Structure 1
Amino acid sequence: MKNQFKPLLLAASMLLAFSTSYAQTWALDKSHAKVGFTVTHMMLAEVDGQFKTFEAKITSSKPDFSDAVFEYSADVNSIDTGNERRDGDMKSEKWFDAAKFPTLTFKSKSFQKVADNKFKLTGDLTIHGVTKPVTLDGTMVGPKQMQGRDGKPGPEKVGFKLVGTIKRTDFGVGGSGAMPVSEEVELRATGEFTKQAM
């Protein structure tokens, strides 16, 4: 009986090795990328912020990115809201507690196309040591074959824009009740990715 399963196991192993070997990595061009958020202060005005230090990559074996995996991480200590005092407060125990939880991460689990260049990206977001599933609305431009300075074909690139809304209290960031900042946080990420050589 065991011998009957050997060909099946061998075929499965070869198929897995074949699919894995053709998984393509797309690296982030940080000079054309931004990750930010918006909250409402005192229910009066919007305040924007961003993380200046972050990493991201995409892995996909299909040209339409239908099996794409998005991975992102940011240094909480790089938060920038345009006000040093406020940035310091955001890093404190009352909010992100950057000393204890210095990194936030996201890893996608599904990429679902909903229109020509529109998709839903679902994955696990970890902030303040808490992991929750989130779904982001995405727009994809490309992939496009770029032209090099010498006129020869350059690298292949693709652009993505992601937006979504989370509740900061779901992740234990800040308290509830009469806080000066809204519970809802709008997330925005844009980035240009370059296909890496195999």
Structure 2
Amino acid sequence: MGLLNRHRATAPAPATDTTSAPAPARLTGIWTLDPAHSSIAFVARHAMITKVRGTFEAFDGRLYLDGEHPGRSTADVTVEVASLDTRQEQRDRHLRSADFFHVEAHPVLSFRSTSVQQLSAGTYHLSGDLSIKGVTRPVVLDLTHTGTATDPFGNERAGFEGSTTVDRTEWGLTWNRVLETGGVLVGEKVKLEFDVSAIRAA
């Protein structure tokens, strides 16, 4: 995709350290997300009674992890909105349209961290700015470090999973229809879920 290649592989300026218990020092370094083994997903209510689940299939991301001072770590993720997939093409076309994401005018969404707070060993609050359709608002992710491993090809990997719930209307995603039985067709609350594998940069 080339998005990640436009980032310079240098550690960002340290932020204020707000942690009390350092993570393993060996995590320190720059890591890139592996889209082939990662998932960025969303869940929303449909007709007030069921859940529609979708994923974004194309994204780039870079993490700078400070194992001794996790509060100095940062994350920068860019998603190609047109890659969304809810397993129903008509719905996907509607989500890409001006009623929702307006992909032609706003082809990417992004998340850039602003601070990290360690809650316990391996669990964090990751705060940052989420930008969608030209609107940027703060969000806080519940994040868990799921472990590290070296794959058969010699890549050192670190795993993370997390989630947050947002109100889509705060980013201008306001389209809806009122149901005859009461309520609305599309829920305003959307849960974002992340399950990522990151590879240590050379």
Same fold (TM over 0.5): yes
C-alpha RMSD of the superposition:
2.3
Pairing 1:104–2:114 present: no
Which of the pair has more CA radius of gyration? Answer: 1
Residue 52 to residue 158, structure 1, CA distance change in 2 (3 Å): same
Q: How far is 1:156 from its partner?
A: 2.7
Query: Once structures 1 and 2 are overlaid, which stretch shifts more, 110-119 or 62-71?
Result: 62-71
Contact 2:160 2:197 in 1 (8 A): yes
For 1:44-123, list aligned pairs within 5 A.
44-63=49-68, 65-123=70-128
Distance 1:163 1:18 in 2: 25
Distance 1:113 1:124 in 2: 18
Residue 90 to residue 141, structure 1, CA distance change in 2 (3 Å): same
Aligned length: 174
With structure 2 as the length reference, what TM-score do the two structures score?
0.79
Contact 1:39 1:46 in 2 (8 A): yes
Contact 1:73 1:106 in 2 (8 A): yes
Query: Once structures 1 and 2 are overlaid, which stretch shifts more, 171-180 or 108-117?
Result: 171-180
Gap runs ≥5 in structure 2: 1-9, 14-27, 179-183
Number of the residue aligned with 2:3: none
Distance 1:138 1:18 in 2: 21
With structure 1 as the length reference, what TM-score do the two structures score?
0.80
Distance 1:18 1:110 in 2: 15
Q: How far is 1:43 from its partner?
A: 0.3
Of all paired residues, the percent bearing the same amino acid is 30
Output the amino acid matched with 2:132.
I
